[in-house]
Chain A
Amino acid sequence: MSSENRQVSVRQLKVKKCNTKCRLIVFATLAICLVAVAVFADRLCPYDPYAQDLSLSYQAPSAAHIMGTDAYGRDMFSRVIVGARASILSTLALVCIITLVGTAVGTISGFIGGKVDAIVMRVSDFFLAFPGLVFALAVAALLGGGVLNAIIALAVISWPKYARVARSQTLSVKVSSFVQAAVLAGDNPPQIIFRHILPNIFGPILVTAMLDIGTMTMELAGLSFLGLGAQPPIAEWGSMMSSGRSMLQTYPWVVLSPGIAIFISVVIFNLLGDTVRDYLDPK
């Protein structure tokens, strides 16, 4: 095999070698870099993202300010970096919350079955009934703006998806002989759930969560864009785009820089999600 490989061109070799595992490493590294930027944003940004200097307002991108400056003369590049914190870290927190809640509800509901299951599924139907953002809009509007409230709003409408995945997986694992054996051996329900069911349904749930990060990034930014998430002056990509919107004609960088930041992050998370799916669930 290896001698054959040496004879093909470098490019082909790269394509061949870059199998799923390799892709997984590359995209996971990129995603980790992104998260690292968000975590260490304070030390990475060249200027104070909140320092206003009206004499510098709406500077076009230059060597000093590679993404230009906004209405208050704040450095866009620094704001985009710091914005990663509100945008990416909140998204990750959101995905963690809905994964945990959805999995817990779905697993327990699927395991117990009967009336509990029927009620839980009706409730989740109810939340699935509405287009996500619309319901989130209402929740965010009630609780008022703020990153935390936007997270709660999206969490309320997003957990049922995970509950469905966890439930259907639980139902299929529940009837398998090793679970039956555990029941016969006298394991109590928590033992069965933690030892036998959860490890076996982990894959599909992880895939769902990974594929969801990109979408959630966009939805969270969307809520902030509508003024229902992060509030100015907090640097967050969606709200930055919204506040720069009226200046699109004259100072496009104020809108496009955070937009491109969202786009790049979503691309990275989507690539990672697709790869995790290919890795865990090869077709």
Chain B
Amino acid sequence: MFKGYSLLKYTIKRILQLIPILFAITFLSFAMMRLAGSDVVEQKMLNTGQVVTDAQLEAAKAQLGLDKPFLVQYITWLNDLLHGDMGVSFVSGMDVFDTFISKLPATLFLTVTSIVLTVIISIPLGIISAVYKNKFWDYFIRFFSFIGNSMPNFFVSLVLMYILGIKLKFFPIISREMSFESVAMPTITLAIAMSAKYLRQVRTTVLDELGKDYIMGAKARGVKFSTTLWKSVMRESLVTIITLLALSIGSLLGGTAIVESIFMWDGVGKMAVDAINMRDYPIIQAYVMWMAIIYVTVNLITDLSYRLLDPRIRLEGTGNE
């Protein structure tokens, strides 16, 4: 339909779509936070337990600009943002952007380690499970996948902490720095949940693929099964696997609030939980924007990678070429 509609144009269009989404969600989160009643000044006072006069409270609010109407606050914030200023944290007084950037490496590190571990666990197990369908190993693997799916991650965290941290003393209970030792337990926790979910998907995908005619054809021509498995089945299954990974990378980059909090892993997820508890609006806004950017980017990358891996898939909006 549109012959000049190239991949680049499509990408630009998708990135432009980010703008209204960002407007909508920052406005919504701003509105929700302001309507919540309690604000950072009150939370601070509550936490310190000091007795303060109303005048002091008002003064503190005025200093942060919290006394102005909500729309004025939003427009001020938006204006600052367009000038590259995300404001300062209400709690620590530090620059929001700097704070956010300082938390990012920890989350990135945890994301990479847990994705790697998930891939190492789920892909081989998923394939074994599919190849030995309804035999012992299939049931064995699926049993553990079921167990993994039925445990909330805070339970897994605490059990791991108890067994690996307290009883066996393999890993430090609370992470003090970014090292493989400290990242081990949060990584295992996240990988257990993700592997349990993804090995099922890998199994289903591989099973679908194994049921196709070309497998029989390859067999008839005397191609070794392992060759078929690795050369054809794997490649065909990659689309599903990559989608899954992309989606989970997205949610991992958002920081896993619970796991990061339990292991005191100083990433963006823990930052968000702390900020929400303290009503630290500028930090929350930065976090919300980060989530939106991740979401749009991950979706875009997934769509583009579909296209690269399987040219039969048409990109939405490109029409019938």
Contacts and interface: CB of A to CB of B under 8 A. Distances in A.
Interface string A211-229: 0001000100110011100
A252 to B, nearest CB: 6
B258 A226 contact: yes
Interface residues of B, number: 41
Contacts of A221: 152, 154
A245 B152 contact: no
B63 interface: no
Contact of B159 (A139, A226, A259): A259
A248 B162 contact: yes
Given A142-B33, A226-B258, A248-B161, A134 B291 contact: yes
Contacts of B32: 138-139, 142
B295 interface: yes
The main secondary structure of chain A at its interface with chain B is: helix
Contacts of A259: 155, 158-159
A142 B35 contact: yes
A55 B295 CA distance: 53
Interface stretch (B83-91, B177-185, B271-279, B300-308): B271-279
A263 B273 contact: no
B36 interface: yes
Given A138-B284, A226-B258, A263-B150, 16 more contacts: A129-B292, A130-B291, A130-B295, A131-B250, A131-B254, A131-B291, A138-B33, A141-B36, A141-B277, A144-B36, A238-B152, A255-B162, A263-B155, A266-B150, A266-B151, A270-B146
B168 to A, nearest CB: 13
Interface of B: 21, 24-25, 29, 32-33, 35-38, 146-147, 149-155, 158-159, 161-162, 166, 250-251, 254, 257-258, 261-262, 272-273, 276-277, 279, 284, 288, 291-292, 295
Nearest to B261: A226
A267 B150 contact: yes
A241 interface: yes
B273 A226 contact: yes
The number of chain A residues touching the other chain, given as a range, is 35 or more
Contacts of A218: 152
Contact of B162 (A131, A142, A252, A270): A252
A133 interface: yes
A236 to B, nearest CB: 13
Of B147, B150, B262, B291, most A-chain CB atoms within 10 Å: B150
A35 interface: no
B166 A131 contact: no
A267 B159 CA distance: 17
Given A137-B257, A139-B32, A142-B32, A131 B155 contact: no
A116 interface: no
